[in-house]
Amino acid sequence: MFGDDFQTSRLAIPAVSILIGFLAYTSQYFFLHFESVPLRKDEVWKINIFALCIWVCYFRSCYVDPGRLPASQKSANTSPEEKAHATRRQRWCRRCEAYKPPRAHHCKTCKRCIPKMDHHCPWTSNCVSHFTFPHFFRFLFYAVVGMGYLETLIWERASIVWGNRNLPSYLGPSVGQLSHLFLLFVVNSITVLTLFILLLRTLYSVLFNVTTIESWEIERHETLVRRARVLGGYLEGPGGQKIRIRKQEFPYDIGIFSNISQAMGGTINIFSWFWPFATTPDHNSGWEFPINDFEGPGVTWPPPDPDRIPFPATKPSATESPGIQTYASAREEVEAFNRRQLQDMNRRRPFSNVQRRKRFHDRVQQLDKNESDDERQPGPIYGDDSDDGEESWRNADGERLRDFGVDEDVEFYDEDDIPLGVLMEQRRQAQ
> Which helix or strand (DSSP H or E) is residue 75 part of?
none
State the Cα–Cα distance between residues 155 and 185, nearest whole angstrom.
8
Integer angstrom CA distances of residue 72 from 9, 69, 76, 185, 282: 33, 8, 9, 53, 16
Which residues belong to the active site?
121
Residue type, 322: P
Which of 118, 95, 91 has its CA nearest to residue 106? 95
For the chain, count helices (H), then strands (E): 14, 8
State the Cα–Cα distance between residues 35 and 27, nearest whole angstrom.
14
Q: In 249-399, where does DSSP find H-type helix?
A: 256-263, 270-274, 330-346, 360-364
Chain centre distance of CA 305: 18
Chain centre distance of CA 404: 3
Which of 46, 71, 63, 54 has its CA nearest to residue 20? 54
* 222-235 residues labelled b (16+ CB within 10 A) or e (exposed): eebbebbeeeeeeb
Which of 103, 98, 99 has its CA nearest to residue 114? 103
State the Cα–Cα distance between residues 408 and 105, nearest whole angstrom.
10
Integer angstrom CA distances of residue 168 from 78, 118, 155, 171, 176: 80, 55, 22, 6, 16
How many Cβ atoms from other residues are within 10 Å of residue 318's Cβ? 5
State the Cα–Cα distance between residues 344 and 346, nearest whole angstrom.
5
